[in-house]
Amino acid sequence: MGKQKHFVVGVLVTLLAILLLVTACAPGTPMEEQKVVKIGYIAPLTGGPAVIMQTGFRNLVDWLAYYEEVGVPGLELPDGVTVELAWADSGFEAPKAISIYERMVDDVVFFHLPSPVEAYACKSRLEKDGIPGMLMAVDEVLMYPPGQMFTIFCTESERFAAACDWIMENWEEDRPPRIGMMGTDTATGRAAEVMGTAYAESIGIEMLPFESIPYVPLDTSPQLLRLAGAGADVIYMQAHWGTSPPILRDAERLGLIGKIRFAGATEDGIGVRMLDLGPAAEGFFQTKCFPWYEEVPIVYDIFREREGRIDTQGGVACTLQYGPVTIEAIRIAIEEVGYENLDGRAVTEAMYSIKDFDPHDIGWSVTYTREDNRGSPKVRIYEIRDGRVVPASDWRAAHMLVPEG
- pLDDT tens readout for residues 145-202: 999 999 999 999 999 999 999 999 999 999 999 999 999 888 788 899 999 999 999 9
pLDDT digits (tens, 9 = 90+) for 362-374: 888 999 999 999 9
Q: Lowest-confidence range among 21-30, 248-257, 277-286?
A: 21-30
Contact 170, 243 (CB under 8 A): no
Can you list the positions of beta strands (E) in 124-266?
133-135, 149-150, 178-184, 206-207, 211-213, 234-238, 261-264
Q: Which of 268, 259, 367 is nearest to 316 (CA)?
A: 268
Count CB neighbours of 326 within 10 A.
25
pLDDT band at 306 (very low <50, low <70, confident <90, very high): low
pLDDT band at 339 (very low <50, low <70, confident <90, very high): very high
Please list the residue range(s) of the chain that carry CATH number 3.40.50.2300. Answer: 2-154+294-351, 156-288+379-397
Task: Name the CATH superfamily housing domain 2-154+294-351.
Answer: Response regulator (3.40.50.2300)
> Cα torsion at 121, 126, 131, 137 (round to 10°)?
40
Does the pLDDT at position 309 exceed 80? no
Question: Residue 223: what pLDDT?
Answer: 97
pLDDT band at 128 (very low <50, low <70, confident <90, very high): very high
Question: Residue 313: what pLDDT?
Answer: 58
Percentage of the chain surpassing pLDDT 90?
65
Q: What number is the average pLDDT over the span 372-398?
A: 94
Does the pLDDT at position 87 exceed 50? yes
Question: Residue 49: what pLDDT?
Answer: 79
pLDDT digits (tens, 9 = 90+) for 192-237: 999 999 999 999 999 999 999 987 788 999 999 999 999 999 999 9
Q: Lowest-confidence range among 25-34, 59-68, 112-121, 193-202?
A: 25-34
Question: Residue 15: what pLDDT?
Answer: 30
How far is residue 392's CA from residue 289's CA, in Å, rounded to a whole number?
A: 13
Query: Alpha-carbon torsion 322, 327, 332, 333, what sign?
Result: positive
Assigned fold of 156-288+379-397? Rossmann fold (3.40.50)
Question: Residue 307: what pLDDT?
Answer: 60
Question: Per the omega criterion (within 30 degrees of 0), is the bond before 222 cis?
Answer: no
pLDDT band at 294 (very low <50, low <70, confident <90, very high): confident
Question: Residue 314: what pLDDT?
Answer: 57
Burial class (CB in 10 A: 0-12, 13-18, 19+), 360: buried
Question: Residue 33: what pLDDT?
Answer: 65
Does the pLDDT at position 342 exceed 90? yes
Does the pLDDT at position 341 exceed 60? yes
| Of residues 97 and 184, more confidently modeled | 97
Q: What is the mean pLDDT of the chain?
A: 87
- C-alpha angle 187/58/308, rounded to 5°? 140
pLDDT band at 27 (very low <50, low <70, confident <90, very high): very low
Does the pLDDT at position 14 exceed 80? no
Q: Which of 341, 404, 353, 399 is nearest to 163 (CA)?
A: 399
Percentage of the chain surpassing pLDDT 70?
89
Q: What number is the average pLDDT over the span 39-52?
A: 88
Tell me phi and psi for residue 65, to 5 degrees.
-65, -40
